[in-house]
Structure 1
C-alpha cells in the first residue's frame, strides 16, 4: 500500500483527513439475529482484537456495551423503536436520507475527550443484496468497518474482505494497516495527513521483517 493509498483510507469526501481508533476496550452487543449469528459477530471482533492487540471487556463502565450492532428489515424500524433517538439525533431526517440513498448499512461513532472511539452504533438493513451474503463475510466486513473511523469513501471501490477457498478473510493490506493503526506509539486520533505517512512507514517495516 502506497502512502497515497493509505492517506485515501482516511480522507473524507470533503477533503479533510480524520482518523480515530478505539480508546477503550470493546464491549459488543448484537440485536435482531439468532444466537449463532451473534457468535459469528463476536468471533469476528475477537479476531480483529487479536490482530491489532486491542482488548475486549465484559462491560464498559460508562456505557455497558459500546459496540452495538442492529440488524433490521427496514429503516422505518428505527423510528418505530422507543428511545432510538437517544442514540441517533435527528433520527427522522437520517432515516429519510438512508431510504433515499437506498443504503443498507449505517454507522454512528461517539468519541472520548482524546478523540478516540468510545462507542459505535452499527445498523445493517437486510436488503436482497445482504441476504445473499454469508454470515461470516457480513460479520467480518461489519467489524472491520467498526475498528477505526474510515473515510466515508474508503471501501466504495473494493471490499476489505477477500475469499480464500470460500472462506472470508481480511485482505492482507487492510490487516497490515489495522496493525499499524493500533501500534501503541500511534495516536488514537489524527487530523493531519502526515499521520498516514507514519502508518505507511510502519507497514513497510512490517513487510521487511
Structure 2
C-alpha cells in the first residue's frame, strides 16, 4: 500500500486524520455468545494483538475490562444492559441512530490523556448477513477493527480479510499497517496525515532488507 492508500484508512469523513493505537494492555470481555464462540473471539483478539506486538492482560486497573464486545440480535437489547449508559455517553440516542440506519455494527473508542486508546466498546447486531458468516471470520474482523482507530470508511469498500484455502485471513497489507503503527518508533497517536508517509516507509523496510 502507498501512503495515500494508508492515509485513507485513517481519514474521517470530515477530512481529519487520526491514527491511535492502544497505550495499555488489552483486556477483552465478550457478551452474548456461547462458550464455543467465546473461545473463537478471544483467540482472534489474541492473534491480532500478537501481530501488533502488543499485550493481553487479565485485568485493567481502571476499567477491569477495556475491550468489551457485545453481540445482540436487536439494538434494543443494549438498553437493558446494567450500567452501559454510564460507560457510553448518549447511549439511548446512539441506539436510536443505529436502529434508524439499520446498522449491524458500531465501535466506541475512549482515549487517555496522551491520545492512546484506553478502551473500546464493540457492538455487533447479528443480522442476516453477519449471521451467515463463520464465527472465525466475524471474530477476526472485529478484532482487527478494534486494534487501531481506523476511519469509519476504512473498510466500507473492501474487507480487511481475504480467503486462503477456504479460511478467512488478514490481508498482508492491513497486517503490515498494524505492525507499523505499533512499532515503538512510531507515535501512539497521530493527527497529521504525514503520519501515513511514515507508516508506508516503515512497511517497506523489511522488503528492503531481504
Whether TM exceeds 0.5 here: the answer is yes
**Matches of 2:55 and 2:92, distance apart in 1:** 35
**Matches of 2:166 and 2:156, distance apart in 1:** 22
**Matches of 2:153 and 2:183, distance apart in 1:** 24
Within-5 A mapping of 1:49-88: 49-88=49-88
Deviation at 1:206, TM superposition (A): 2.3
Counterpart for residue 153 of structure 2: 153
Instruction: Write out the 4+ residue segments of structure 1 that deviate beyond 4 Å after TM superposition.
Output: none
Deviation at 1:208, TM superposition (A): 2.6
Deviation at 1:31, TM superposition (A): 0.5
Q: Secondary structure at the match of 1:119?
A: strand
Deviation at 1:90, TM superposition (A): 1.2
Within-5 A mapping of 1:76-115: 76-115=76-115
Summarize deviations over 1:70-92 as a string: whole Å, max 9, x none.
00110111122222211221112
Counterpart for residue 31 of structure 1: 31
Deviation at 1:133, TM superposition (A): 0.3
**Matches of 2:207 and 2:44, distance apart in 1:** 24
Counterpart for residue 118 of structure 2: 118
The TM-score with structure 2 as length reference comes to 0.97
Counterpart for residue 17 of structure 2: 17
Q: CA RMSD in A?
A: 0.8
Summarize deviations over 1:18-54 as a string: whole Å, max 9, x none.
1100000000000010111111111111111221110
Q: Structure 2 unaligned runs (5+)? A: none
**Matches of 1:152 and 1:139, distance apart in 2:** 18
Deviation at 1:115, TM superposition (A): 0.4
1:41 aligns with 2:41: yes
**Matches of 2:80 and 2:31, distance apart in 1:** 15
**Matches of 1:175 and 1:81, distance apart in 2:** 34
1:7 aligns with 2:7: yes
**Matches of 1:24 and 1:82, distance apart in 2:** 26
1:135 aligns with 2:148: no
Summarize deviations over 1:161-203 as a string: whole Å, max 9, x none.
1111111100000000000000001111110111111000001
Q: Structure 1 unaligned runs (5+)? A: none
**Matches of 2:30 and 2:206, distance apart in 1:** 34
**Matches of 1:141 and 1:61, distance apart in 2:** 27
Q: Secondary structure at the match of 1:71?
A: strand
Counterpart for residue 197 of structure 1: 197
Q: Secondary structure at the match of 2:152?
A: coil
Deviation at 1:146, TM superposition (A): 0.1
